[in-house]
Structure 1
Amino acid sequence: MARRALILVEGTRSNGPLYVQAAQRLGLHPITLSADPARYDYLAAEGTEAIRVDTDNLDALIRECARLRATYDIAGITSATESFYATASKLCPHFDLPGPNPASIERCCDKFTQRQLLAEGGVPIPAYCVAANATEVESSAAEIGLPVILKPAVGSGSSGVRLCRSVEELAEHTAYLLGGKYIWRSSPRILVEEFAQGPNYGAELMGSEVIGTAAIDWGGPPHFVCRECTYPALLTDDEHRRIIDASLSCLRALDLGWGPTNIEFKWTKLGPVVIEVNPRLAGTPTPQLVQLAYGVDLITEHIKLVIGEEWDLRRSHSHTAVARNLIPDRDGILDWIDGDSRAAAVPGVAEVKFYVEPKTPILRNGNYRDKIGHVMASSPTLAQTEAVIQRAVDLIDWSITPFATLREREQYAAPYFPD
């Protein structure tokens, strides 16, 4: 009997290893198709199969999957990264496999189209415009009124996202986005968006069920780098109901509801306002936090859906889970980082992970790549979990030697290619 395989189109450094490990636990043989498999260190570490193929070429992917089908029983095809999730969903019909509607995924991944559909569906969203050049950015910002958020119309991980509070900041960030430092996967289009103010929340859905809600600390502006995430969010029954209602309205407006969805909210004076809908799982540490808080393994249950098996979204417990991301306060060369073993030994700590090693250049760009590690903990109460997190983080330290000159910094800088 042919071995059952799960095809993963590209990967990510956050959820990628979790998908590989979950597939193996389910008795599947994970195979990653990638334009550059060497990008993903975890593939070699896990000893899993990876095949080089042009993942921007759907026909090439179809041919590769057809070739693999001669050796394996392809049980499912998916992707752990947003930019290839629609591509993976287009492959599924060719091999009679379950998957989301590719058109719905593509519409949702275009933030301008997404906002149009949400507005048509009556979902509360910030005021917005789309711009293709500096003149249009300036006029859109004048129409909405400063401060505004500038963000690429396609992208993830807060890449290229900035709060602009003045005309000077607006011009500066527009020049960054359009001046060659930010590499676009498609024609440049900038979303100019009203700055909705209030606490930040997130919702994780599988199918049409809200699995959990989170309180999110995005740190200080002008950039948006997640500093802490807490499951569940402390909400009143009415607030929780309104977030669930808004989440389900998003699914209807965007024709989603197959598989995972991640939704970001601001709680404004008008209630929950939708900032973004992601037709995929949020990245690390969200899946781990959901499992710590509720006992639901979102990645395993997603794979079950992908391979046509029945999932189980029942909660096995109710704890409070918190992740604190480690964010450097300066650019430079990392001299040393330590304390992970001491922090991991604190009772209640679930995971301590560093993403960098000594002698790594640290260059902060105001997106998810600024994080150099995280600490996760869980316990029956929020107060206890926060105390555990703080105790663990206090045991971690690092040293960064600042760059001596701007030229030294620039020698390590490179154009940013969004995942």
Structure 2
Amino acid sequence: MAKRALIMVEWSRGNGPLYIQAAHHLGLYPIALTAHPTQHDYPKGIEAIRIDTHDLDPLIRECSRLRETYDIAGITGFAGDESVSATVGKLCRHFDLPGPNPASIEQCCDKFLQRGILAKAGVPMPAYRLAANAAEIERSAADIGLPVIVKPAVGSDSRGVRLCRNLDEIVEHSLFLLGGKHIWRSPPRILVEEFAQGPHYIAHLMGNEVIAIAATEFGPPPHFVFRGYTLPAPLTDDACKSITEVSLSCLRALDLGWGPTCIEFRWTKHGPVVIEVNPRMPGGGDPKLIQLACGVDLVTEHLKLVIGEERVLRKRHSQTVVARSLLPDRDGILDWIDGGNRAAAVPGVAEVKLYVKPKIPIVRKGDNRDSMGYVVAASPSHAEAEAILKRAVDLISWSITALPPLREQEQSEQDVYQH
């Protein structure tokens, strides 16, 4: 009998190992199709094959080749580039396997198109405009009123997203986006949005069910790099109900609801407004935090959907989980980082993860790639979970030696290294 295989398109350092573990638990042999097989430190128990994951035809040919040896039970993917999710849907359709509707995914990947669909459905959102050049960005910002968010209409991981509080910052960020420093896979299209001010929340859904709502916080502006995470969010019952209702409205408008979705909100003076609908599993290891908080293993339940088995979303317990991302305060060379083992030994700490090692260059991008690691703590009490997290984070320290300003060529080489 042929071995049952799980095809995974691309890879995620946060969720990838969770999918490997879940695949093995379900008796599946994981195979990664990736454009950069040597870029990631793959764990044992997975086969990695080099392929252009932005081209559907080679993926179809490779899956057909693999089907000669394996029983392909399902296909899934990771959305460092969210177009991967649409490609996965097309692969599933081609091989008659369970998967998301690729058309629904594609209209979400284009944030301007997504906004238009949600606006027609009456979903509350910030004011927004589409721009293609610097003059249009400035004109859109003037129409909306400062401050504004300026970001690529297609993208993920907060790449190229910036809060612009005055005209100088708009000019500076326009030059960054349009001057060759931001990588575009299609003609530049830029979204200019009203800065919706208020606490930030993420609703995590599986199918048509809201599993959890998390409160998040960011590092210092003007960028939006995730720094803190609290699950469940400290919200009133009425606020939870409101976010849930708007979340389900988003699913109906965008024709989603097959698998995982995460929806970002700001709670403003008018209530919840939708910042973004992401038709995918949340990144950064969020599924692990959700399982720790309420006992629902989103990754395993997602894979059950992928291979055609019935999912079980029953919550098994309830506790508060808090996490802190370790963000550098400067660029330079990491001299040392210490205290991870001491932090992990603090009672109530669930996990400590360090991504970096001494002597590597630290080049901040202003997005979620900046994280050097994280600490997670859990407790039945919210206040106690926060106290545990603080004790652990205070035990971790590092030193970064700042370097003189780099010439353009040297900066480009370091950018390649960081990617």
- Deviation string 1:238-259 (CA, Å, 9 cap, x unpaired) is 1010000000001011110010
2:88 is matched with 88
Q: Output aligned runs, 1:335-354, within 5 Å.
A: 335-354=335-354
Task: Kindly provide the amino acid, as one letter, of the partner of residue 125 in structure 1.
Answer: M
What is the distance in 1 between the residues matched to 2:416 and 2:169? 20
Conserved? CA contact 1:3–1:73, under 8 Å: yes
Conserved? CA contact 2:126–2:273, under 8 Å: yes
1:367 is matched with 367
Conserved? CA contact 2:231–2:322, under 8 Å: yes
1:135 is matched with 135
Conserved? CA contact 1:5–1:74, under 8 Å: yes
Q: Output aligned runs, 1:16-415, within 5 Å.
A: 16-42=16-42, 45-81=43-79, 82-407=82-407, 410=411, 413-414=414-415
Task: Kindly provide the amino acid, as one letter, of the partner of residue 7 in structure 1.
Answer: I
- Deviation string 1:335-380 (CA, Å, 9 cap, x unpaired) is 0001111111111111100011101111112100111000011110
Matched pairs, number? 416
| 1:141 shift after superposition | 0.8
Task: Kindly provide the amino acid, as one letter, of the partner of residue 29 in structure 2.
Answer: H
What is the distance in 1 between the residues matched to 2:45 and 2:339? 29
What is the distance in 1 between the residues matched to 2:19 and 2:323? 20
| 1:5 shift after superposition | 0.5
What is the distance in 2 between the residues matched to 1:76 and 1:361? 39
Moved over 6 A (4+): 415-418
Conserved? CA contact 1:183–1:415, under 8 Å: no
Q: Which moved more, 1:402-411 or 1:81-90?
A: 402-411
| 1:232 shift after superposition | 0.2
Conserved? CA contact 2:363–2:418, under 8 Å: no
Task: Kindly provide the amino acid, as one letter, of the partner of residue 75 in structure 2.
Answer: I
1:137–1:157 CA distance, 2 compared to 1 (3 A): same
| 1:80 shift after superposition | 1.8
- Deviation string 1:152-185 (CA, Å, 9 cap, x unpaired) is 1111111100000111100100100011111012
What is the distance in 1 between the residues matched to 2:326 and 2:320? 20
Q: Output aligned runs, 1:2-13, within 5 Å.
A: 2-13=2-13
- Deviation string 1:59-108 (CA, Å, 9 cap, x unpaired) is 11111111111111100001022231110110011111001100000000
| 1:416 shift after superposition | 9.8
Could you list the runs of 5+ residues in structure 2 that have no partner in the other structure? none
1:11–1:316 CA distance, 2 compared to 1 (3 A): same
What is the distance in 2 between the residues matched to 1:241 and 1:33? 40
Structure-2-length-normalised TM-score = 0.97
- Deviation string 1:170-218 (CA, Å, 9 cap, x unpaired) is 0100100011111012221100000000111110000000000011111
| 1:219 shift after superposition | 2.5
Conserved? CA contact 1:129–1:140, under 8 Å: yes
- Deviation string 1:135-159 (CA, Å, 9 cap, x unpaired) is 1111111111111000111111111
Task: Kindly provide the amino acid, as one letter, of the partner of residue 342 in structure 1.
Answer: R
1:101–1:178 CA distance, 2 compared to 1 (3 A): same
Conserved? CA contact 2:205–2:211, under 8 Å: yes
Task: Kindly provide the amino acid, as one letter, of the partner of residue 64 in structure 2.
Answer: A
Structure-1-length-normalised TM-score = 0.97
Could you list the runs of 5+ residues in structure 1 that have no partner in the other structure? none
What is the distance in 1 between the residues matched to 2:77 and 2:161? 24
| 1:417 shift after superposition | 9.4
CA RMSD of aligned residues (A): 1.4
What is the distance in 1 between the residues matched to 2:78 and 2:347? 31
